[in-house]
Copies of this chain bind each other. A is one copy, B any other.
């Protein structure tokens, strides 16, 4: 990891990403537990190199934690109240215990400032992601959005607003497919929609609506071994 200084990174500005995955009929969010021996949970985030565009920086942060390169990623809002500070991290740095920071003095100076954060959200196929740690992470895990722990600063609010943005855009921009594997059944697609909107849809009408969009390609049937009609598999038509 590079040093925290204004030659390397833009000061007082960070990027935090709400990375959505979908598993077991539940939306999940990738959460980092920080490597400080205290229960500090944060969104995957990072800083912006002086020679990087913000989209580029967000993409790099994502790649560091997920290993993925081609993913849906979109800026949704910038957060910057006057008192937005990293107090929990500062508290830890103040305690003179060893931390994973290479230059403690520079780190204290860096994190003692008030920060503005550009919020991004990403949609990934959870099966393709092996969460990867950086130097500052104790662990990085998928947690169900319904039962997130208390996150640092305003990160819980950032998740909430990212979810609202996702709901607004899921239909409009047909981005839901980014959360599913390559092929899926109509039921799986519907369950994803129900997880995002947290409400049920009528099965027959949902099917009609999805098919009328003409973005799905119907593949062969999927024989599950269950005692019922085998559903078709579908693929998103690029």
A59 within 8 A of B: no
Partner of A11, one of B12, B52, B80: B12
Cross-chain contact A77 with B75 (CB below 8 angstroms): yes
A51 to B10 Cα, complex, angstroms: 18
- Each complex incorporates copies of this chain amounting to 2
Distance between Cα atoms of A118 and B12 in the complex (Å): 14
Interface magnitude class on chain A:
20 to 34
Picked from B13, B51, B56, B82, the residue with its CB within 8 Å of the CB of A116 is B13
Q: Is the pair B81, A53 in contact by a Cβ cutoff of 8 Å?
A: yes
A89 interface residue per 8 A CB criterion: no
CB closest residue in chain B, given A82: B53
Q: Digitize A35-59: 1 where CB-to-B-CB distance is under 8 Å, 0 elsewhere.
A: 0000000000000101111111000
Residue positions of A touching B, CB distance < 8 A: 6, 10-13, 48, 50-56, 75, 77-78, 80-82, 114, 116, 118
Instruction: Tell me if A78 and B78 are in contact (CB < 8 A).
Output: yes
Known A54-B116, A116-B54; contact A80-B12, beta-carbon cutoff 8 A: no
Q: Is the CB of A78 within 8 A of B118?
A: yes
In the bound complex, CA of A80 to CA of B118 (Å): 10
Chain B residue numbers with a CB within 8 Å of A10 are 11-13, 114, 116
Q: How far is the CA of A116 from the CA of B116 in the complex (A)?
A: 11
Select from chain B the residue with minimum beta-carbon distance to A6: B11
